[in-house]
Amino acid sequence: MDFKPSPERQILFDTLKKYFEKEYSLSDRNIAAHSDLGYSKKAWEAMRDLGILESLIDPELDGFGGTALDISTVFEALGRGLVVEPFLEVGILAAKVLSKGNDVQKSLVKKILKNECLPILAHSETDTEYSKSFVETKLSVEADGSYKISGAKRMIKHAAEATHFLVTCRNTGDASSEAGISIACIPTDREGIKIDSFATIDGGRVSDLTFSNVSISSEELVGELGMSYSIVSDAIDTGILAICSEALGIMERIKELTLEYLKTRKQFGVPIGKFQAIQHRMAQLLVEIEQARSSVINATIYFDDETEKEKTISAAKFSIGKIGTLVAEESIQLHGGMGMTWEYDLGHYAKRLVLIDHEFGDEDFHLQKYISL
């Protein structure tokens, strides 16, 4: 038994960690994260140069990683850095989908690595339906064998800057049926697409998309007509593993910040970390964070096991959601007013940590899913 990452992965993690500490200042990050673009193009390019994207992608598509453990290791590091650039959306969600496509679509993955395109998965439709198979966007087959898409997608992160949308849609089946789902890969300047963007609480812009009779050629489908649920499902499962790992990195950083504060902040003549009520709450947080880490390790172990995968993924997302909110709320409380300020790092970590529960299904959704499996 050995729970340590391989030496190569450890080196990657340490490199990223050091990079974020030195080069990715949180004050710059916050300006970019809440700008009209929602991230920093400069930082995005600098981090790509480190090979982060390659580490998320299979060797056959010009990457050098892509295993569950690679993804978990890298995203924990991204979490520590509170990176807002679109590694999840492009490096995981879009790349995973495109890797199942035809040669043109596969080549987009290679183009991602060269910074020649920025494809974004446009899947989720209502705010509170987290089911991976919920798709109402309509795909209609035209007389000439081409298709048209009509429908709406909601809360798509980093969509405004995308070069391509990977749009899920259905030509048959009920709204939540797994059968009947297709994916279309289209340029974002295709006629009939409307984009409404919003600022977010945790950084990065988010958009609602409307598709009105958008024309699609048959070569633009990723996978076969109506058979692409498993492609979306795999991409989202990988995304869940990624953001759960991101949450671990955030929690570790929050732990460090909070401990530092407890040791230096003095009231009544002693560091507040000397008060037993505070100590016990902090010890409880440590216990919870260790359990959160174990849940992610468990999901990583079973990520390629068809029978256990979904159950361990849901257990991890539930654990992260529940523990993440606790860690965010407790760490703010332990910081007092300091935790409430924009200027201090903690609040920004806490915001992202809480919002991770809103992506790909919250703690309640995944507990119910766990029960159903």
Partner 1 sequence: MDLNFTKEQENFQIEVRSFLSDNLEPQVVEKVKNGIPITKEDSERWHQKLNEKGWLAGTWPKQYGGQEWDVVEKFIFEEECGSAGAPRIVPFGVGMLAPVLMKFGSQEQRDYWLPRMLTGEDWWCQGYSEPGSGSDLASLKTSAVRDGDHYIVNGQKTWTTFAQHANMIFCLVRTSTEGKPQEGISFILIDMNSPGIEVRPIITLDGSHEVNEIFFSDVKVPAKNLVGEENKGWTYAKYLLTHERTGNANVAVSKRKIQKLKKLADDAKKNEQPLSNDPMFASRLAQIEIDLQNLEITNLRTLASVENGEAPGAESSIIKILGSEIEQDIDNLTRKSLGKRAFVNEPDALSSGYNGAEVVPKAAAYASGKYFNHRKKSIYAGSNEIQKNIISKLMLNL
| Residues numbered 265-294 forming contacts with its own copies, rule: CB under 8 A | 275-277, 279-280
The answer to whether 150 and 140 are in contact (CB under 8 A) is: yes
- Among all chains, which residue has been given the structure tokens 């790092």? 345
292 touching partner 1, by CB under 8 A:
yes
Which of 64/275 has CB closer to its own copies? 275
124 touching partner 1, by CB under 8 A:
yes
Name which of its own copies, partner 1, none residue 41 binds, using a CB cut-off of 5 to 8 Å depending on partner kind.
none
Least distance in Å: CB of 279 to its own copies? 7
Least distance in Å: CB of 129 to partner 1? 6
7-23 vs 68-81: helix crossing angle, rounded to 10: 20
Q: Which stretch binds partner 1 (CB under 8 A): 75-83, 159-167, 215-223, 268-276?
A: 268-276
Residue from 33, 251, 350, 353 binding partner 1 (CB under 8 A) = 350
DSSP state of 337: G
- Among all chains, which residue has been given the structure tokens 């958008």? 214
**Separation of alpha carbons 5 and 13, rounded Å:** 9
Q: 283: which 2 tokens?
A: 């010890």
Least distance in Å: CB of 351 to partner 1? 6
What CA–CA distances, in Å, run from 253 to 33, 257, 331? 19, 6, 11
Q: What is the DSSP string of 258-285?
A: HHHHHHH-EETTEEGGGSHHHHHHHHHH
Least distance in Å: CB of 221 to its own copies? 45
Name which of its own copies, partner 1, none residue 131 binds, using a CB cut-off of 5 to 8 Å depending on partner kind.
partner 1
Q: Which stretch binds partner 1 (CB under 8 A): 19-27, 45-53, 242-250, 350-358?
A: 350-358
Name which of partner 1, its own copies, none residue 176 binds, using a CB cut-off of 5 to 8 Å depending on partner kind.
partner 1
Least distance in Å: CB of 295 to partner 1? 5
Least distance in Å: CB of 268 to its own copies? 11
What CA–CA distances, in Å, run from 52 to 15, 34, 59, 305? 11, 23, 13, 26
Buried b (16+ CB within 10 A) or exposed e, 177-191: ebebbbbbbbebebe
Least distance in Å: CB of 176 to its own copies? 25
Q: Smallest Cα–Cα separation from 366: which of 311, 314, 296, 324?
A: 314
Q: Which stretch binds partner 1 (CB under 8 A): 50-58, 74-82, 105-113, 190-198?
A: 190-198
Q: Smallest Cα–Cα separation from 313: which of 321, 96, 230, 106?
A: 321
Of residues 73 through 112, those in contact with partner 1 by CB under 8 A are none
CB atoms within 10 A of CB 107: 16
# chain residues binding partner 1, by CB under 8 A: 90
Name which of its own copies, partner 1, none residue 123 binds, using a CB cut-off of 5 to 8 Å depending on partner kind.
none
Q: Which stretch binds partner 1 (CB under 8 A): 56-64, 84-92, 177-185, 290-298?
A: 290-298
2 touching partner 1, by CB under 8 A:
yes
Q: How crowded is the C-beta side of 149, counted as CA atoms within 13 Å?
A: 35
Q: 205: which 2 tokens?
A: 């812009």
Name which of partner 1, its own copies, none residue 196 binds, using a CB cut-off of 5 to 8 Å depending on partner kind.
partner 1
